[in-house]
Structure 1
Amino acid sequence: MDKKCPRFLAVVLLGVLFLCPLCLADSELYSSANFPTTEAERLIRGLNLLPKDVNVVDQENESGVPQGKKIVERKFKFPNLVDPGGVSVDDLGHHAGYYQIQHSHAAKMFYFFFESRNSKNDPVVIWLTGGPGCSSELALFYENGPFSIAKNMSLVWNEYGWDKVSNLLYVDQPTGTGFSYSSDKRDIRHNEDGVSNDLYDFLQAFFVEHPQFAKNDFYITGESYAGHYIPAFAARVHHGNKAKQGAHINLKGFAIGNGLTNPEIQYKAYSDYALDMSIIKKSDYERINKVLPVCETAIKLCGTDGTIACMASYYVCSSIFNSIMALAGDTNYYDIRKKCEGRLCYDFSNAEKFLNKKSVRESLGVGDIDFVSCSPTVYQAMLVDWMRNLEAGIPALLEDGIKVLIYAGEYDLICNWLGNSRWVHAMEWSGQKEFGGSSEIPFEVDGSAAGVLKTHGPLSFLKVHDAGHMVPMDQPKAALEMLKRWTGSKLSEVSAESQNLVSSI
């Protein structure tokens, strides 16, 4: 085949999309010629957040990070913290800082670091929120961080914060997300190479700043579009360790919650999941599935070509999800048990209000930098990365003993458990057959079934009961127990009662 053929086919696919009534009829989004930005802003409004642009600032308006120093960090205590018990910033062990990204023009990456409430010997766990382009502070305050934001804008301790069993890092990335910023638009990232290299360089600098944690076990966690970030980041760390490129990072594993990792398999699962959950009818299912062959071809071209093919595949395949949502009405696609009132599926606006308070900004040392919850610019910049298959690098990590946990709340549509289960089972590695043949066992918390677990060797898949897209928000106790057992290599341990139940079935 001529080398130009894939690019030509990509253009043809893009043309077919705009001529195809099936692809267009079910979604108002495609009526806009500026679709990527419209889609990004729609998703952000759906979280009740303001669709701000991106933190690309004038040099004179920067937060005051000195040039030449890789990390500038301060210990802090949030104002409005309820009942802190007179503890000092040293007692809390809470840090906020900026990393001057090494291989960038002028980018600074913001992060939070919360030392474990239990022991400094606990693992170091980094959390990455998806989007792409959404701040990890959303998880900090609404999922698994040390605090939650009360209605009166005070902070209360989270009984199930992951800092109870780990030393916890939250990073605002890619550049332009959260409090991270640059004075040069060339620092906006478009693919996983840029994202993973920035994160790897950050870790190197972080462990120089905190050498007492450098030998701790290290785990990468996150959700949603972090299903792309995390495998690339883990592979980058593992490669750096093997090549002795910098200080050794004691990577033990990574966990992805309701992630987008292998789009070719996961997009095929949309209609199956929607039919199984009675979101659509059989006739709708058959009609929507007519787009699947075109979507599959487009994704394959994305893997072999580049920008044009990947954009084409995004447009083509998005019609599948949007066709389902057109039929689902006001269903919350992050949790199908719930309804969206208008487009306010969740209200995360207090995070923006809190982090933009003058007293909070002063305690964090962010200067005049705006907090950007989710950035349409970052979202749009990463669209060429969206349909790439990030599962491809995972088998090599499994073969080297890196633990992998894929977990998913059962009521999420957008990154549903069915699609995640399918790509995990289809992944080719030395333990594929044994994993596929292994028994499902109950994941119990306090004597009650909190999920269903399947595991073999370093690979585990956990379907979490009574949870949507954000498992730590919906089932905080189960999520904390999951992290504790997984990092302690005890995830698959079950009680005697559970073993008897499984054997009797």
Structure 2
Amino acid sequence: MFSGRYRSVPNQTQSPFLNEQSSRFVVNGSALPLVDFDVGESYAGLLPIGDDTGSQLYFWFFPSTNPLAYQNKEILIYLTGGPGCSSIGELLQLNGPISWPPGAFQPIPNRWSWHRLTNVVWIDQPLGTGFSRGAPTAINEEDVAQQFLGFWQNFVQTFALQGYQVHVTGSSYAGMYAPYISSAMLDRNNTTYFNISGMAIWDGLYSKLPLAEDIPTARFIEKWKTVLPFNDTFRAGLKLVDQRCGFTAYLDEFLVFPPKGQQPSILPGEDPATGMVRPECAIFVAAFTEARQFNPCLNLFDVTSRCPLPFDPIGFAAGRFILPSSFDTPYFNLPAVKAALNAPLNATWAFCPPLFANPVFATGVDASIKSGPGSQPVIPRVIDGTRNVILGHGSRDFLVLPDATLLTIQNLTWQGVRGFRVRPWAPLFVPYHDNTNASAGPAGAGVVGTSHSERGLTWFETALAGHLVAQDQPAVAFRMVEVLLGRVQGFTSTAPFTVDVGGAGPQPPAGALGMGTVDVRGTVGWKWK
């Protein structure tokens, strides 16, 4: 049974990561405020970007409790999106050793912490994010990547990680960050510091907002019509906008298997001067605004969200930035927490900036997404260079709509071939385990979605998750890391989890799973009802 106790392998007094340079970053795992258990070995603090001590990125590094992480010499990087959202916020609420998600009374050990599989570091980046220090100077994603590599070389030197396999992961706007960082690592051709071995992203933004939001909106509304019960007049108006702006027609033409061909650089409904949707085509904003009329607590992260808003210890509250008077300071802004985590005491930490604010680019705009196809030019480079890329999505995501990931894939050329040749249909399987007690959280088991792999790229969609896959379906995210690390052979494997997650039930025989539970077949030829 999962005990909830963490023990590093080896322990901190003989850790391969504890040395003269790293000792100043040691965190006392038994002395974190409001946490009544020992989180084990970890290190946190600021390191400069290259030689620039005025520009520093903040990290929280958890060595693994898994011997394989040391035998295989692995480290996994986790990046939150935003842009401008703090990775340590998601350490606390998604995939770190401490689980304190919205609505929870207190933090508890997280049986689904990724450090149970490998060494993991959560990094607040780019400049302007979380506890990181220094004025943002990046104009585009190339700048972000080069700054990150300057920090990363210092991190590797500090913790003696030379030659370690690097896996870059993230969510949301990390769909921009992670591919550029991974591609830049490949370009360096230096396996001592940049031994990039794989990349995984869920609910990523890979291109301009019309592709992620407006083009798939009509189909998304129809799929979720039981929780988006628009009246007939409003639905008729949406249908008219969809037809005039050519959104569903675009899906019919380009979301096919195999792909038709390269998608146009100017999207339907797009204003070429800004890269944003034209006001008369803003179907996504119109739908969300109207939905808030009958569901005031609806948030973009989960189309099924309802009132009341749960207490959120980091003060984000799904973008509402609400805290009760009895807990009126976000956890990471508590002075004792800052001191425990070697964070700058004069910093004001926020999980994310206000919606649509962009504090991490010098001009307020990411030039890589405004003037071009986002990260689509570099994703193929990462697939070809690693043959180990995963792009996943949660079906309930109302911020970056699920069809956007498949549209992106069908516009990529890797291994000399464009897109997926076969329509996804295979199951996404999570091993059966004991999920009957509170520490299991919402971690489901069995066939929980659909997956597909071709030529080094794997896609999945899980039905019971929104934008935050590791919060809504932590066992899916945990399995994703096992697949990324090569511990199991894909999402159709019926092998049990590779570590104890609280007991393993009998698993079904291979080949007995049937098809996936997220239907991709209804995309082509979809019509308004």
Quickly name the TM-score band, shorter chain normalised.
Answer: 0.7 to 0.9
Q: CA deviation at 1:314?
A: 6.0
Q: CA deviation at 1:283?
A: 2.1
Secondary structure (helix, strand or coil) at the match of 2:414 reads: coil
Indicate conservation of the 8 Å contact 2:164/2:192, yes or no: no
Indicate conservation of the 8 Å contact 1:352/1:373, yes or no: no
Q: 1:383 to 1:339 in 2, by over 3 A?
A: farther
Q: CA deviation at 1:361?
A: 1.4
- The code of the aligned residue for 2:458 comes to S
- The code of the aligned residue for 1:207 comes to V
CA shift digits 1:44-103 (9 cap, x unpaired): xxxxxxxxxxxxxxxxxxxxxxxxx99995101252364546x8xxxx320012122237
Partner of 2:212: 266
CA shift digits 1:399-419 (9 cap, x unpaired): 233411001111112112222
Indicate conservation of the 8 Å contact 1:138/1:351, yes or no: no
Indicate conservation of the 8 Å contact 1:94/1:112, yes or no: yes
5, 23, 32: which is aligned to 1:79? Answer: 32
Please state if 1:502 is matched with 2:514. Answer: yes
CA shift digits 1:331-387 (9 cap, x unpaired): 322111112658954788579622122221112222322213223351672354444
Between 173-182 and 277-286, report the one with greater CA deviation: 277-286
60, 78, 94: which is aligned to 2:42? Answer: 94
Between 462-471 and 345-354, report the one with greater CA deviation: 345-354
Partner of 2:448: 450
Q: CA deviation at 1:217?
A: 2.0
Q: Which has the higher helix share?
A: 1
Indicate conservation of the 8 Å contact 1:222/1:230, yes or no: yes
Distance 2:465 2:109 in 1: 22
Secondary structure (helix, strand or coil) at the match of 1:455 reads: strand
Partner of 1:322: 285
Q: CA deviation at 1:503?
A: 8.7
Partner of 1:430: 415
Partner of 1:11: none
Distance 2:23 2:284 in 1: 43
Structure 2 residues not aligned, in runs of 5+: 1-19, 251-263, 310-315, 433-445, 495-507, 518-529
Normalised to the residue count of structure 2, the TM-score between the two structures is 0.70
- The code of the aligned residue for 2:346 comes to D
Q: 1:153 to 1:198 in 2, by over 3 A?
A: farther
Q: CA deviation at 1:301?
A: 6.3
Distance 2:145 2:36 in 1: 39
Percent of pairs identical after alignment?
A: 22
Please state if 1:173 is matched with 2:164. Answer: no
Distance 2:457 2:125 in 1: 27
Distance 2:139 2:52 in 1: 13
Partner of 1:382: 365
Partner of 1:356: 333
Partner of 1:60: none
Secondary structure (helix, strand or coil) at the match of 2:85 reads: coil
Secondary structure (helix, strand or coil) at the match of 1:220 reads: strand
Partner of 1:254: 199
111, 116, 127: which is aligned to 1:164? Answer: 116
194, 205, 211: which is aligned to 2:154? Answer: 205
CA shift digits 1:432-468 (9 cap, x unpaired): 4683226522122234112211012310001112111
Between 342-351 and 281-290, report the one with greater CA deviation: 342-351
Q: 1:152 to 1:462 in 2, by over 3 A?
A: closer
276, 283, 286: which is aligned to 1:313? Answer: 276
CA shift digits 1:231-285 (9 cap, x unpaired): 11111111112xx4x8442211111110110336434222322233223565244
Partner of 2:393: 408
RMSD after superposition: 3.5
Q: 1:210 to 1:292 in 2, by over 3 A?
A: farther
Secondary structure (helix, strand or coil) at the match of 1:228 reads: helix
Please state if 1:287 is matched with 2:287. Answer: no
Partner of 1:109: 57
Indicate conservation of the 8 Å contact 1:71/1:100, yes or no: no
- The code of the aligned residue for 1:99 comes to L
Structure 1 residues not aligned, in runs of 5+: 1-68, 303-307
Secondary structure (helix, strand or coil) at the match of 2:56 reads: strand
